[in-house]
Structure formats: structure tokens, C-alpha cells
Amino acid sequence: MNQFKQIGLLIVGWIFIGFGILGLFLPILQGVLFVMIGLAILSSRSKTIRRFLEYLETRYPHHYERIVHWKMKIRSWLRKDTV
């Protein structure tokens, strides 16, 4: 069951990043928001994304704070599911 959860998180994370990329070109979607949520989800699974977030923290601290905020929300949602 845990493996299905990990695969599901990877799929959901990449879907959010895909929506974010679409949202950068379409006025209907909030592109940056979806990309940040996708990065927050994938940051626990990928070293490359963690390195990118470290760069983002030094270059754009305000955006990094938003990603950390979303990361905490996602963790709280996942903990509610496991209880």
C-alpha cells in the first residue's frame, strides 16, 4: 500500500507541474501556483528538485516560503489520511 502512495504522489506532483506549465500560457490557470505545489510534492522524492529548491531559497526567498507553506499543508493532509 505504501508503494501505491509513493507512485500516486509522483503522478500527482508531475500533473501539478504539467498544469503549471500550461498555466504559464493560459490565462485561466494559475501557473506559478501549480508549479509550486508540484515542487512541494516532488521535493521529498527527488534530489534534483531539492537542489533546485535550495537555489530558489537563496535567489527568491519569498517564493521559497510559499513552497514551504504548501509542503506543510500537503504533509498535514497526508497525515490525516494515514490516521
What are the distances in angstroms from CA 27 to CA 23, 31, 37, 43, 63? 7, 9, 18, 27, 20
Contact (CB, 8 A) for 42 and 24: no
pLDDT in tens, 13-71: 899 999 989 988 888 878 888 888 888 888 877 788 888 878 877 888 887 788 788 78
Number of domains in the chain: 1
> At which residue does the C-alpha cell 506543510 appear?
72
What are the distances in angstroms from CA 58 to CA 35, 51, 54, 61, 63? 18, 11, 7, 6, 10
- Side-chain-side CA neighbours of 69 within 13 Å: the count stands at 8
